[in-house]
Structure 1
């Protein structure tokens, strides 16, 4: 059952509020709108890019009916704390995977983790994702130090020019997308949108390709200075 079906079957309806992530794909907020409820955007944790449990607690009002948390880039959301908040307030709590996340077999996940561990130990030109139990590395998302989006975008162009594939995983906060636009500003979300870059950790990547990626990132990262 998808998010829309889960919300409907739980009785979420017009006039209800549903707490959703501000960083990521818009499908969750769109599902809330489809059942007639109001998406309330909560801040993300700066390490995991998943819902920050403290922000979820702050977003709860008497009209809140549910929380939808997303496991982002293969890293699990903080299920324990979010469930505890839901139980405390009598809320439906739904956990969803990132849109497009596949069901990889264990061998594929193991190889992605091996490639992520290799990059963890060698990348110095970017800020690497904290290693946590359960991370399957659907994407290996780093932060580009410097002055936000202009430096991140320039960094991405320079990487591609050196033959290293990469992509900006989230183009804008969900609350600024045209179909959903809300008068909201969440600083952690804004920073994540402006600084993050996804590097490939596909199971078929060779060690030579990983070495080239690390060398390119380290060379380019040395040219950037963090903003103060």
Structure 2
């Protein structure tokens, strides 16, 4: 998409460091330079204010990626692109789920929203497809998040760290830049399953396991 739009050598393309390395690699593949901007801490999508601050005379495009089903995070970037005359390339994480699948995810997510107290649940957002149910773990960042993940897995709860290392911290793209929301998200987030195969007992196990652990993880003073 970047190549067909004429993006190439000498151009800059703004991308998120919170996500897959493939986005930055695609920018390099057309000869352009990836520029990392911070994310919105609620939607995990690029933050439009941070993106606009990163725009230079060489900026040609923005790669907008919906994270975990937060589709609404794309709209501010589209508006920014129109206002500044920039190409906004939308890259979906996965196909939109079938209505039946989406409805089941939303039912499961609503159950967890009402009952989880040991973690910070996802921000409510219209149109959220819950491709992943991503929570924040209270405590001291990555060490507590990783310990929390190990503990709930021992209790039979499936979970995964959605983004282990931000792209701007990887050797191939290392940049000394300040992306606080990106760093916090990488250190604190954990994805819990809300797939259609979960039973009510499975969901109860998730709630019991997370709530039992949440109060044990306290911020450092």
| TM-score bracket relative to the smaller structure | over 0.9
Moved over 3 A (4+): none
Q: What residue in structure 1 maps to residue 13 of structure 2?
A: 18
Of residues 189-198 and 102-111 in structure 1, the stretch that sits farther from structure 2 once superposed is 102-111
Of residues 184-193 and 35-44 in structure 1, the stretch that sits farther from structure 2 once superposed is 184-193
What's the CA shift string for 1:78-99, capped at 9, x where partnerless? Answer: 333212211222110111112x
Alpha carbons 1:70, 1:77 under 8 Å: kept: no
Once residues 227 and 87 of structure 1 are traced to their aligned partners in structure 2, the CA distance between those partners, rounded to angstroms, is 44
What's the CA shift string for 1:123-178, capped at 9, x where partnerless? Answer: 00000001111111010000000000000000000001111111100011111122
RMSD over aligned CA atoms reads: 1.1
Once residues 117 and 213 of structure 2 are traced to their aligned partners in structure 1, the CA distance between those partners, rounded to angstroms, is 10
Q: How does 1:117-128 map to 2 (within 5 A)?
A: 117-128=110-121
147, 150, 154: which is aligned to 1:157? 150
Q: How does 1:1-228 map to 2 (within 5 A)?
A: 6-98=1-93, 101-227=94-220
Once residues 66 and 18 of structure 1 are traced to their aligned partners in structure 2, the CA distance between those partners, rounded to angstroms, is 5
Tell me the TM-score normalized by structure 1.
0.94
SS of the counterpart of 1:23? coil
SS of the counterpart of 1:153? helix
Deviation at 1:76, TM superposition (A): 1.1
Once residues 54 and 103 of structure 1 are traced to their aligned partners in structure 2, the CA distance between those partners, rounded to angstroms, is 27
Alpha carbons 1:51, 1:77 under 8 Å: kept: no
**Which consecutive unaligned segments of at least 5 residues does structure 2 have?**
none
Tell me the TM-score normalized by structure 2.
0.97
CA, structure 1 residues 77+35, in 2 after alignment: closer, same or farther (shift >3 Å)? farther
